[in-house]
C-alpha cells in the first residue's frame, strides 16, 4: 500500500528507510522538489505546491519498491513543523498467491521457564498443524477451482500445496439443494491443507427462473459459493452454473445429509414373519 507523506513548501522533511534506496519521481516535479538520499535517509523539500504525486523508493540491493504518495501545501500561520517519518518493514508477504506467511522471530529477551514434556500425541498435533496463510484456504481453493473450470489453463496461477483429488461420483447429492428443482452433479475436487473444495454442476430442471441462495443449502460446509446468482429457464444458455463447496477434514461425501429411502411395507412384513 502506498504510504502518504505530506509536505510543507520550503520545509524539509526526512524519511528514514534504513536501506540503500534510489528515488524515482516524475519529470513534472523535478523542478518543484529537492531530493537527497544519504545512508538510508531521504530528504525532501518542496519549492512550491505539488499536487498528489507518487514516488518510488527502490532498494538498490534487492530491487524491492516502496511507494510513497507526497503532496506539498503552502505553510499555514503558526503551523508546527512536520516530524520525520520512519518506514519499518513488517512481515514479508508471500511471493505467490495463497503462500504461507513467514513467522516473525520473537524479540522478547525475557527468559521463560521450560515447558513440561509434551506427550507424543501433542507433539504430532503441533507438527501436523497447517501453516498460516496470507489468504484463507477456502478463498484460495474456491478461486483456484473457478480458474481451473472457467479460465484458460495458461492463465491459471499455481498455488503450492493444492492437489487434485478424486471425488466419489456415486454420492447422492439430491439433499444439497432440497428446496430447488435443480440437478446436481460433481465436476471436480481439490485439496489444500485440511480443506477440500468440490465443484458441483447445477442445472435448472424447470421453465422458471431460479434465484440461488447459499442459505438454502444443507450439509456440513465451511463456505459455499455460486458462480452465478441465478439459473435461467431450462434450455437457456443461463440454465447451468457451478457451486463451490468447501469442507474441512473430509470430502463432499461425508458433508452431505444422507438420503433416507422409502420403506417398503411388504418387505418389512416379510422380515417380521421370518420369510
110: in domain: no
CA 131 to chain centre: 14
Highest mean pLDDT among 9-13, 60-64, 76-80, 261-265: 9-13
Task: Look at residue 25 and tell me if it is in a domain.
Answer: yes
The stretch 210-232 carries a mean pLDDT of: 92
Span 18-26, average pLDDT: 86
Q: What is the mean pLDDT of residues 160-188?
A: 88
Domain assignment present for 50? yes
Write out pLDDT tens, residues 118-159.
555 555 545 555 666 778 899 999 999 999 998 887 788 788
* Domain identity same for 234 and 142: yes
90 or 88: which leads in pLDDT: 88
> Does residue 143 share a domain with residue 71?
no
81 with 142, same domain: the answer is no
Nearest 5°: CA angle at 15, between 65 and 26?
A: 55
- pLDDT of residue 4 exceeding 80: yes
Q: What is the 3-state secondary structure (H, E, C) of the chain?
A: CCEEEEEECCCCEEEECCCCEEEECCHHHCCCEEEEEECCEEEEEECCCEEEEEEEEEECCCCCEEEEEEEEECCCCCCCCCCCEECCCCCCCCCCCCCECCCCCCCCCCCCCCCCCCCHHHHHHHHHCCCCECCCHHHHHHHHHHHHHHCCHHHCCCCCCCEEECCCCCCCCCCCCCCCCEEEEEEEEEEECCEEEEEEEEEECCCCCEECCHHHCCCCCCEEEECCCEECCCCCCCCEEEEEEEEECCCHHHCCCCCCCCCCHHHHHHHHCCC
Please give the residue range of the domain that contains residue 213: 137-254
In a domain, residue 119? The reply is no
Domain-embedded: residue 94:
no
- 89 vs 31, residue with greater confidence: 31
CA distance 245 to 183: 16
On whether both 158 and 55 belong to a single domain, the answer is no
Instruction: Please identify, among 86, 103, 118, the residue that sits at the C-terminal boundary of a domain.
Output: 86
**In the predicted model, what is the mean pLDDT of residues 194-209?**
94
Q: How many Å apart are CA 63 and CA 85, to the nearest integer?
A: 21
Q: What is the pLDDT of residue 100?
A: 64
In a domain, 203, yes or no: yes
Same domain, 163 and 237: yes
CATH of the domain at 36: 2.60.40.1510
Residue 111 has pLDDT above 80, yes or no: no
Residue 118 is assigned to a structural domain of this protein? no
The total number of structural domains that make up the chain = 2
pLDDT tens-place string over residues 52-74: 999 999 888 788 888 999 999 99
Amino acid at each position: 500500500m502506498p504510504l502518504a507523506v505530506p509536505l510543507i513548501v520550503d520545509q524539509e522533511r526526512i524519511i528514514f528507510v534504513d536501506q540503500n534506496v534510489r528515488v524515482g519521481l516524475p519529470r513534472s516535479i523535478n523542478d518543484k522538489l529537492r531530493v537527497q538520499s544519504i545512508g538510508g535517509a531521504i530528504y525532501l523539500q518542496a519549492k512550491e505546491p505539488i499536487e498528489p504525486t507518487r514516488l518510488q523508493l527502490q532498494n538498490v540491493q534487492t530491487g524491492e519498491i516502496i511507494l510513497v504518495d507526497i503532496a506539498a501545501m503552502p505553510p499555514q500561520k503558526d503551523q508546527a513543523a512536520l516530524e520525520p517519518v520512519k518506514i519499518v518493514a513488517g512481515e514479508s508477504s508471500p511471493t505467490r498467491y495463497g503462500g504461507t506467511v513467514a513467522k516473525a522471530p520473537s524479540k522478547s529477551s525475557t527468559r521463560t521457564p521450560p515447558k513440561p514434556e509434551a506427550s507424543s500425541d501433542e507433539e504430532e498435533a503441533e507438527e501436523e498443524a497447517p501453516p498460516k496463510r496470507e489468504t484463507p484456504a477456502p478463498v484460495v481453493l474456491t478461486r483456484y477451482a473457478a480458474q481451473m473450470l472457467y479460465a484458460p489453463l495458461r492463465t491459471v496461477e499455481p498455488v503450492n500445496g493444492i492437489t487434485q483429488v478424486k471425488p466419489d461420483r456415486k454420492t447422492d447429492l439430491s439433499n444439497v439443494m432440497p428446496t430447488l428443482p435443480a440437478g446436481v452433479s460433481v465436476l471436480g475436487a481439490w485439496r489444500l491443507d485440511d480443506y477440500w473444495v468440490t465443484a458441483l454442476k447445477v442445472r435448472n430442471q424447470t421453465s422458471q427462473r431460479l434465484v440461488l441462495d447459499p442459505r438454502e443449502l444443507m450439509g456440513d460446509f465451511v463456505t459455499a459459493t455460486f458462480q452465478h446468482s441465478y439459473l435461467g429457464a431450462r434450455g437457456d444458455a443461463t440454465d447451468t452454473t457451478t457451486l463451490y463447496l468447501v469442507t474441512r477434514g473430509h470430502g463432499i461425501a461425508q458433508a452431505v445429509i444422507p438420503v433416507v429411502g422409502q420403506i417398503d411395507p411388504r418387505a418389512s412384513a416379510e422380515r417380521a414373519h421370518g420369510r
